[in-house]
């Protein structure tokens, strides 16, 4: 069965307890369940991961790119957390690994602090889902699936 990677960056392990007024009370385990249900409905499996370490995310993007090249994955949904706004390394990993990525943000980053308005990932992402809460993950999986079908 074909896989979709769902990669989560720093502090997303705190989802449900960190700033619930911004991110809600849904936990990362709940998000993983949601992603599995949505992906399953599309005939996909989910490889769901979270790390607080930039290099680990880079390695996972390389792995996702290799799986895409081998025909075993459609790409990745990436919520890079704060690394979205700081990481040239993640930008380069997405570009270098040729992995189709949908960038996702739980909150509307454009309504928040100025430093959150810039993304290093957006220029190399196939699409971006912003501000739909954790349901943005479902939209991102569906969008990635549709893009690769076209």
Least confidently predicted of 7-11, 23-27, 85-89, 126-130: 23-27
User: CB of 28 within 8 A of CB of 50?
Assistant: yes
Provide the residue ranges of all domains of the chain, joining segments of one domain with +. 2-149
Does the active-site annotation cover 105?
yes
Does the active-site annotation cover 110?
no
Band (pLDDT 50/70/90 cuts) for residue 147 is very high
23 pLDDT more than 90 = no
Mean pLDDT of 44-61: 98
Question: What pTM was estimated for this model as a whole?
Answer: 0.93
User: CB of 79 within 8 A of CB of 105?
Assistant: yes
Q: Is 51 annotated as a binding residue?
A: no
* Residue scoring higher pLDDT (104 or 25): 104
Q: Which residues are 76's β-sheet partners? A: 5, 101
Greatest pairwise CA separation for the chain in angstroms: 41
Architecture in CATH of 2-149? 3-Layer(aba) Sandwich (3.40)
Q: Is 141 annotated as a binding residue?
A: no
25 pLDDT more than 80 = no
Which among 91, 105, 137, 145 is annotated as catalytic?
A: 105
* pLDDT value, residue 9: 97
Q: Is 128 annotated as a binding residue?
A: no
Band (pLDDT 50/70/90 cuts) for residue 110 is confident
What is the C-alpha separation between 73 and 5, in angstroms, rounded?
A: 8
Number of neighbouring beta carbons within 10 Å of residue 137: 26
24 pLDDT more than 70 = no
- The helix or strand, by DSSP H or E, that contains position 126, with its residue range, turns out to be none
User: CB of 85 within 8 A of CB of 119?
Assistant: yes
Q: Mind listing the pLDDT tens digit for each residue in 71-108? A: 999 999 999 999 999 999 999 999 999 999 999 999 88
């Amino acid at each position: 069965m074909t896989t979709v990677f769902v990669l989560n960056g720093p502090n997303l392990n705190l989802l449900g307890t960190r700033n619930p007024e911004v991110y809600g009370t849904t936990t990362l385990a709940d998000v993983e369940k949601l992603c599995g249900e949505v992906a399953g409905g599309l005939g996909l499996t989910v490889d769901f991961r979270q790390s607080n370490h930039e290099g680990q995310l880079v390695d996972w993007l390389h792995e996702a790119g290799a799986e895409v090249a081998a025909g075993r994955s459609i790409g990745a949904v990436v919520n890079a957390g704060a690394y979205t706004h700081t990481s040239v390394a993640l930008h380069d990993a997405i570009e270098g690994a040729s992995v189709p990525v949908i960038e996702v943000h739980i909150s509307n980053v454009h309504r928040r602090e100025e430093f959150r308005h810039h993304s290093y990932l957006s220029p190399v992402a196939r699409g971006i889902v912003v501000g739909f809460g954790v349901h943005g993950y479902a939209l991102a999986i569906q969008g990635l699936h549709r893009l690769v079908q076209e």
